[in-house]
Structure 1
Amino acid sequence: MTTPSPINWPKYQHLYEEISVPAKTVLLEEGKTSRYAYYIVEGAVRLWFNNKGKDTTFQFFFEGEGVSSIESFRTGQPSMCTIETISAARLLKVSKENLDLIIDSEPGFRANLEGIIFHRLLRYTKMFIAQIRDTPQERYEALIRDQPHILQRVPLQYIASYLGITPVSLSRIRNKLQREK
């Protein structure tokens, strides 16, 4: 996922705020209404939800990507997820009203956003099917193959959660794959 372009972002500086936050900063809490979307200048962010008392990660975002609880941001309904920084982050924060002004002012921006949303939906669909079809080891191997940057930037506990397994199971899979090399 990339940033929509070619937007003349300095032209809209008065409509967004640049913020710096430490790791583990909650940008949006599950059950609250999303009032902001974020663009990641530096850092890593995850989306997760409370699954019967267990933290379940389902998406990671990095530099050059936008993040929000799209459903809540667009509809005003409570968010189904929490948005939290994994590392210290520098973000551009924009309200729905101001983002709508930018969208209305920039030809082609809406189409770019629709493309990003479609890409995100495609990722969710692949993840959903993999959770049903693939073994935990197959899901981990796909992560190594398709998104190795996640393994370099994200703590193992969040990767295990993302894969739908415990950290102990992830450790076993990693050890098994190391022995097979």
Structure 2
Amino acid sequence: MGDIDNIFKGMAADMPTRTVPAGTDLLVEGDTAKQLYLIRQGGLRLWHNDDGRDITVQFFFEGEVVSSFESFYLNKPSMFSITSFEETTLVAIDGNTLRNRIEREPKLMAAVTDFVCHRFIAYTQYFLNRIQDSPEKRYQTLLANQPKFAARVPQYELASYLGITPVSLSRIRNRLKK
């Protein structure tokens, strides 16, 4: 995914950065995504509200790009919110700017397609792990593959990502310490 990262970083080089405190909503479920966000420093989460139950789908960190891609691409209301979980410095890339650039640069379209395919694969793995693996196994896999999640993400949001309660996560962590 290096091509897309370099392209977005190049696009964002001359754009102003914005710093938001933890707990800032950049996109609220039901609104239409008009921007992509390139994270310079900090962390964001993509999440869904299921009748009051918070379901975190993904975390994003420095150098990564996030949007509600379905909303952004289809120009329809988002099924997700994007919220900072720590102070975050980012660049907002306007959707129209990106679309115009894609029309002019076929290489950019190929990079975006590759990026979206990798995101699809990651989400497929996420959903399969939620179905197949026990909560303890999901946590162990997270520690092995995404240690920064455990180090930087608040525990209640990490529990939401794993599909368990914060109390269950605490019990799992205590069992694994023994």
Under TM normalisation by the shorter chain, which class is it? Answer: over 0.9
Aligned residue pairs total 177
Residue identity in the other structure for 1:28: L
Residue identity in the other structure for 1:58: V
CA RMSD of superposed structures (Å): 1.8
Mapped partners of 1:147, 1:162: distance in 2? 12
Identity of aligned residues (%): 44
Instruction: Tell me which residue corresponds to 1:125.
Output: 124
Instruction: Tell me which residue corresponds to 2:4.
Output: 4
Mapped partners of 1:164, 1:137: distance in 2? 11
Residue identity in the other structure for 1:4: I
Q: After TM superposition, give the deviation of residue 107 of structure 1 in Å.
A: 4.5
Instruction: Tell me which residue corresponds to 1:55.
Output: 54
Q: Is the 8 A contact 1:39 1:67 kept in 2?
A: yes
Residue identity in the other structure for 1:138: K
Spell out, residue by residue over 1:95-130, the C-alpha distance to the aligned partner (whole angstroms, 9 max, x if none).
211111232344422211111111111111111111
1:71-86 residue pairs with structure 2 within 5 A?
A: 71-86=70-85
Q: Is the 8 A contact 1:32 1:79 kept in 2?
A: yes
Residue identity in the other structure for 2:157: Y
Q: After TM superposition, give the deviation of residue 139 of structure 1 in Å.
A: 0.3
Mapped partners of 1:100, 1:51: distance in 2? 31
Q: Is the 8 A contact 2:139 2:162 kept in 1?
A: yes
Q: Is the 8 A contact 1:5 1:109 kept in 2?
A: no
Q: Is the 8 A contact 1:31 1:79 kept in 2?
A: yes
Q: Which moved more, 1:137-146 or 1:17-26?
A: 17-26
Identify unmatched segments of 5+ residues in structure 1.
none
Identify unmatched segments of 5+ residues in structure 2.
none
| Structure 1 runs of 4+ with >4 Å offset | none
